[in-house]
Amino acid sequence: MTGSVTVRVPAKVNVQLAVGGRRPDGFHDLANVFLAVGLHDKVTASPADHQDDRGGAGGPRLTVSGPDADHVPLDDGNLAVRAARLLAERHGRDPGVRLHIAKDIPVAGGMAGGSADAAGALLACDTLWGTRTPYPELLALCAELGSDVPFSLAGGAALGRGRGELLEPLETGGTFHWVFATADGGLSTPDVYRTCDRLREAAGGGATVESVPDPEPSLALLDALRRGDAAALAGELANDLQPAAVALRPALNATLEAGLAAGALAALVSGSGPTCAFLVKDAEAGTRTAQALRASGTCRTARPASGPVRGAEVV
């Protein structure tokens, strides 16, 4: 066993999030085009220095640092803790480990921060414990932990089908530049899906798999990604959850407008929100747009980041 292992893991933005009808199990089928972007959490796993009543190592113990640390659960509600337990159970070993998350991804921001930490904890514990889980099995464990977790492990760009967990890697022809405007307070992903169903029902279309068309990826969007063409991608960005996120947080309209007024090529809510994502022409436009958004008073802060970037990796 080594001293400690740190894994760096990226946030994601959904460049397309097509949401199908509510399935009988309550989930929605998705066509989810993910792009990993350069905002990262770091997850460190170190040998346990604690024991439970029976002399075992007493399960994972978690600490979190960073500006949003107060909003992150430290118990089994934390996806990183669940990831460590799941890996230990799969290998029939003691789950004792110290985990530390240096959190930079906005919490409950629609950028898959919890999923990133789960993927990071899996890889960090697998390396620390020497359990050498084959990559396809790691991906399967990720899918057990949550729909977005496999993508956090894989990174790059990918199409997620099913609940988003069935991944198909996508080719990208270059780097895309973004600005992410974070909001005060998060939005609950289940609340946003419920609101999406409610809005669809109110519009008279129904909200079940029978009444909503199957979600399909946009071929023009996949082509823009493949060609690295930001202007073409700007015309194709789409998020079926955006009306629900905006209904729950109407102030997001002002944030989206401020980014467009600052010259962004396109604006959309990231996943279930409330973070807003702005596609910009280049790194310089990113710096300028972020400054303008911070000055607009319509967000907590705004940060440039580009993608695709690599998935979870030991540093």
Question: Cβ of residue 64: shortest distance to ligand ATP, in angstroms?
Answer: 8
In angstroms, the Cα distances linking 282 to 36, 245, 246, 261, 287 are 17, 27, 27, 16, 9
- CB 13, CB 277: distance < 8 Å: yes
The phi-psi region of residue 241 (left if phi > 0; otherwise alpha if psi is between -120 and 50; otherwise beta) is alpha
Residue 113 annotated as binding? yes
Question: Cβ of residue 48: shortest distance to ligand ATP, in angstroms?
Answer: 19
Which of 251, 261 has the CB closer to ligand ATP?
251
Question: Cβ of residue 133: shortest distance to ligand ATP, in angstroms?
Answer: 20
Residue 46 annotated as binding? no
Distance between CA atoms of 10 and 306, rounded to whole angstroms? Answer: 11
- CB 31, CB 213: distance < 8 Å: no
Distance between CA atoms of 228 and 44, rounded to whole angstroms? Answer: 34
Residue 147 annotated as binding? no
**For this structure, is 281 an active site residue?**
no
Residue 4 annotated as binding? no
Longest Cα pair distance anywhere in the chain, in angstroms?
Answer: 62
Per the residue annotation, which of 68, 126, 148, 240 is the catalytic one? Answer: 148
Question: Cβ of residue 14: shortest distance to ligand ATP, in angstroms?
Answer: 8
Which of 178, 285 has the CB closer to ligand ATP?
178
Distance between CA atoms of 122 and 118, rounded to whole angstroms? Answer: 6
Which of 119, 285 has the CB closer to ligand ATP?
119
Sequence-ordered list of residues with C-beta below 8 angstroms from that of 246, at least 6 positions apart, any chain: 252, 253, 269, 273
Residue 204 annotated as binding? no
Residue 136 annotated as binding? no
**For this structure, is 25 an active site residue?**
no
Which of 148, 197 has the CB closer to ligand ATP?
148
Residue 96 annotated as binding? no
> Which spans of this chain sit near ligand ATP (rule: CB under 6 A)?
72-73, 77-80, 101, 107-115, 117, 148, 186, 189, 271-272
Which of 15, 101 has the CB closer to ligand ATP?
101
Per the residue annotation, which of 12, 29, 126, 197 is the catalytic one? Answer: 12
Question: Cβ of residue 266: shortest distance to ligand ATP, in angstroms?
Answer: 19
Question: Cβ of residue 173: shortest distance to ligand ATP, in angstroms?
Answer: 26
Q: Which residue is nearest to ligand ATP (CB)?
A: 114
Which of 46, 189 has the CB closer to ligand ATP?
189
Catalytic residue ranges: 12, 148
Binding site as annotated, residues for ATP: 106-116
Binding site as annotated, residues: 106-116
